[in-house]
Structure 1
Amino acid sequence: MGTSKKILLADTTLRDGEQTPGVAFSPNQKALIAKRLAQCGLREIEAGTPSIGKVEMEAFDKILSLGLSARILAWGRMTEEDLKAVKHSGTTTVNLSIPLSDIQIATKLKTTRSSVLEKIKKYVSKAKDMGLEVAVGGEDASRADEHFLMEAIEVAQQSGAFRFRYADTVGILDPILTYKIISKLKKITPMLLEFHGHDDFGMATANSIAAWHAGVDSLSLTVCGLGERAGNGSLEEVAFFLSIRENVDSGIDLKALFSLCFLVARFSGRKIPRWKSILGKDIFLHESGIHVDGILKNPRNYEPFNPTIVGRKHRFILGKHSGRKSVLWTYEKLGILLSEEQARRILDQIRDFAINNKRTPSKEELIGFVDTPTALPASGTIKKSC
């Protein structure tokens, strides 16, 4: 595989992430997120769409005034209005996007392939003449005719663009297809290539990793996987996987990124599910007796990375799937030493409780399961704290 041990992780939380239905960051929130992204080690931030108007211009002013080490990009369509707004925003780099699939060319742009190629040539050249660095975004590239896609990339390169974004706009790719197409593109163009995935079929993170394996130069991602419809490729998922599993130098401070995710979740009004990979409250929580036994012997048995990386630790609860050793361990932490017979009896009570109440028993309820006259307190009394 054409794997590189370095990769540029480019953030588009403030642009595509904000396109999540109902999400709208204030200029101050955008500036704070941008600052925190840069502190996490992000070297490129797509900060928004200047043509939106005054509020977006204010956000660009605040972000650019911070003097961040990260490159700040604006996003725009290949139109006079968008290009003028980008220049007015004060940024020096733009991602100019245009649809490349036949369905979007015909029904969205109501034009032809040849006209699209002319637009790429015209607006990339014009942006360059305005003093802007230009990346070209191939919207819906994953549904584009392959030969036309290659034509578009060639025109973008000849017109002076420094990078081409391959966008899986409606999330139809799988990792195998992603690997094949990015590998092929890397062979036919000297341009830098970026992959931008959507999660409509739950493939965005996997596709991003596949694109990296194929040698892509950068990945366009969002914090918490925010974005249109099902969202985009998740920055934290990709960053953690590449760093921990692939030993990739992405320059990202994982602990700082972990913390930032909760700020973005708060600003976006989107709760993080308890089971969400990397971030979820319960991802180091264990109930299964087999898993608890394994964790007690060696945490690596059932934890893919050390929870201390994100300032957490593994936890155990008792429920339907618990085992006898889990009961003995939990009650010992409560200050109660149980006999084997007591543990078996209490385990039956715990399982019945979990089935009937659809939750795990509280500490007080666990203590209530103990047959006090025959229990064996660790130090003569029942301790009330874990």
Structure 2
Amino acid sequence: MLEFSKKTNLLERTEFTYPLQDVEKPNMFRNLFPYDEVPKVAFNHRMVPINMPDNIWITDTTFRDGQQSREPFTTEQIVTLFDYLHRLSGPNGIVRQSEFFLYSKKDRDAVCKCMERGYEFPHVTSWIRASKKDFQLVRDIGVQETGILVSCSDYHIFHKLKMTRRQAVDHYTAVIKECIETGVRPRCHLEDITRADFYGFVVPFVIALMKLMEETRMPIKIRACDTMGYGVSYPGATLPRSVPGIIYGLNHHAGVPSELLEWHGHNDFYRAVNNSATAWLYGCSGVNCSLFGIGERTGNTPLEAMVFEYAQFRGTLDGMDTTIITEMAEYFEKTFGETLPERTPFVGRNFNVTRAGIHADGLLKNEEIYNIFDTEKLLNRPVVVAVSDTSGVSGVAHWINAYFKRKDDRAVDKNHPVVQEVKAWVDREYAEGRVTFITDEEMLEAIDKAVEATGVALLP
């Protein structure tokens, strides 16, 4: 069938035939995934077009995939973090959904309390395995949408489920139909899609789901899950690892509208953020993330990273309040006793700290030289210069003002007695042969001693 595309202004083929290939033996793609070697990235030089959707958004899995990788959150902690996500999302609901487990009473209580908040965004959704027993949990609590695990690689179908491809399709379809019959919107999580037989299993299965959606008039979302982080964004890379190829295939060959398509990536090969941005670029409206990237093994796509990817693509934050990211990071560290890696972009303790002497000199003259953007405005994190033998008395004053967030009439200058005393201590350290930078802890201790020695307190 040919149809005229208003997006490309061309006649395009819109109907494809991809029968399910019910193989006797699993296809493990051993040419790409030799278990005793590093995985291979192969190319066939087939290019697909960029297809940025009209609308893109972020969905959250902090309370599902994120939580299963760590000590469980309490109900109160979940509600607090959900409130933060609501504030971050802004009036346009860029953080559109948040998914929850339903297996423990604590999680079910959290779902109820979050739903009682009455927020438009994020929507509360759930996640279950493809079993009728699990679906009863969704039915009982009254969630309007649930994720359903529909593993799609032969690694899972043959070795975990002990099924054939046809048996897996029949099993998944039965649960999805029951979901629809009770008025709950299904979201199908295509687990391990980057090791799956894309045109032999994934596309025919998803085409069947799209036909089911047409028959029932119930939206069926498709989440492409890069469970092991094998996805690559390189143009011309082969399936099943090609993120552009996966999104294009689901959108164009399987007929999934962009607004029903979502990407869920892991960071095993440091590609989570890049792959998520690529999914947006090639036709996927939703990217699934977790706060600070927490999740199985190396974690998920960090939600805060995609906030800034969104702004770079769209040229606007669309009402998102990014200072909330800093509040969430501070809450996370204080409440859970976990220190986020100090060089983590946007949230790490030292992400905007300059240590190199020549960089510090430039930064003190004009912070735009070595700061990625106005971090004080957008993240409530003023740029910091680490103290060393090249910092000078102005560098010490800058450190104190930045660390204690002192501005205007509360700021100290280079002539303040405490600043002078700390600078004298720094000089002594390096005169005695020190070669490393002064740590924050050492600076705080030196400031306390300087206050005691001079008898002059810093301004309150």
Give the TM-score normalised by the residue count of structure 1.
Answer: 0.83
Q: CA, structure 1 residues 229+335, in 2 after alignment: closer, same or farther (shift >3 Å)?
A: same
Residue 373 of structure 1 is matched in structure 2 by none
2:380 corresponds to 1:311: yes
Query: Amino acid of the residue matched to residue 172 of structure 1?
Result: Y
Taking the TM superposition and a 5 Å limit, the aligned residue runs for 1:335-354 are 335=415, 349=430, 352-354=433-435
Say if 1:358 and 1:364 are closer, same or farther in 2 by CA, change over 3 A.
closer
Equivalent residue, structure 2, for 1:13? 62
Distance 2:369 2:322 in 1: 22
Letter in 1 for 2:76: N
Distance 1:219 1:237 in 2: 11
Task: Report the equivalent of 2:203.
Answer: 150
Distance in 1 separating the partners of 2:274 and 2:432: 37
Q: Structure 2 residue aligned with 1:259, among 327, 330, 346?
A: 327
CA–CA distance in 1 between the matches of 2:355 and 2:455?
Answer: 23
- Cα offset, 1:20, TM superposition: 1.2
Counterparts in 2 of 1:120 and 1:250: CA distance versus 1, 3 Å: farther
Q: Indicate the SS of the match to 2:150.
A: strand
1:95 equivalent to 2:142? Answer no
Matched, 1:32 2:73: no
Q: AA paired with 1:178?
A: V
Residues 180-219 of structure 1: pairs in structure 2 closer than 5 A: 180-188=245-253, 189-191=255-257, 192-219=260-287
CA distance in 2, matches of 1:350, 1:283: 29
SS of corresponding position for 2:156 = helix
Aligned partner letter, 1:140: D
Name the structure 2 match of 1:299: 367
Contact 1:136 1:163 in 2 (8 A): yes
CA distance 1:287–1:359, change in 2 (3 Å): same
- Select between 219-228 and 245-254 the one with higher mean Cα deviation: 245-254
Structure 2 counterpart SS, 1:184: helix
Q: 2:290 matched to 1:222?
A: yes
Consecutive unaligned residues in structure 2, runs of 5 or more: 1-49, 214-218, 235-241, 398-412, 418-422
> Which letter maps to 2:245?
K
In the alignment of these two chains, the number of paired residues is 365
> Structure 2: how far apart are the matches of 1:12 and 1:75?
10
Q: Secondary structure at the match of 2:435?
A: helix
SS of corresponding position for 2:120? coil
Measured after TM superposition, the shift of residue 224 of structure 1 is 1.1
Name the amino acid aligned to 2:105.
K
CA contact under 8 A between 1:224 and 1:265: conserved in structure 2? no
**Cα distance change, pair 142–350 in 1 and its aligned pair in 2 (3 A):** farther
Gaps (5+ residues) in structure 1?
Answer: 369-380
* Residue range with higher mean Cα deviation, 237-246 or 113-122: 237-246
Q: Cα gap change, 1:116/1:353 in structure 2, threshold over 3 Å: closer, same or farther? A: same
Contact preservation (8 Å) 1:136, 1:156: no
Which range moved further: 159-168 or 101-110?
159-168
Q: Structure 1 residue 149: deviation in Å?
A: 1.2
Instruction: Give the AA of the match of 1:174.
Output: V
**Deviation of the 1:197 alpha carbon:** 0.6
CA 1:318/1:113 → structure 2, altered by over 3 Å: closer, same or farther?
same
* Counterpart position of 1:330: 395
Match of 2:107, SS state, is: helix
User: Partners of 1:360 and 1:259 in 2: how far apart?
Assistant: 22
The code of the aligned residue for 1:87 comes to R
What corresponds to 1:173 in structure 2?
231
Residue 183 (structure 2) pairs with residue 112 (structure 1): no
Say which is worse superposed, 25-34 or 82-91, in terms of deviation: 25-34
User: Could you say which residue in structure 1 is the equivalent of 2:116?
Assistant: 65
Q: Which of 222, 227, 230 is the aligned partner of 1:164?
A: 222
- Percent identity (aligned): 23
SS across alignment from 1:170: coil
Deviation of 1:133 after TM superposition, in Å, equals 1.1
SS at match of 1:74: strand
Residue 86 of structure 1 is matched in structure 2 by: 138
| 1:8–1:250 Cα contact (<8 Å) kept | no
Q: Show the counterpart of 1:56.
A: 107
Q: Which whole-Å CA distance do the structure 2 matches of 1:135 and 1:365 have between them?
A: 56
Question: Deviations for 1:263-293, whole angstroms, at most 9, x for unmatched residues?
Answer: 3444544321222110112122112122122
CA deviation after TM superposition for structure 1 residue 346, in Å = 5.1
**CA distance in structure 1 between the partners assigned to 2:137 and 2:272 by the alignment:** 30
- Matches of 2:432 and 2:185, distance apart in 1: 63
Between the aligned partners of 1:237 and 1:167, the Cα distance in structure 2 is 18
Q: CA RMSD for the aligned pairs? A: 3.3
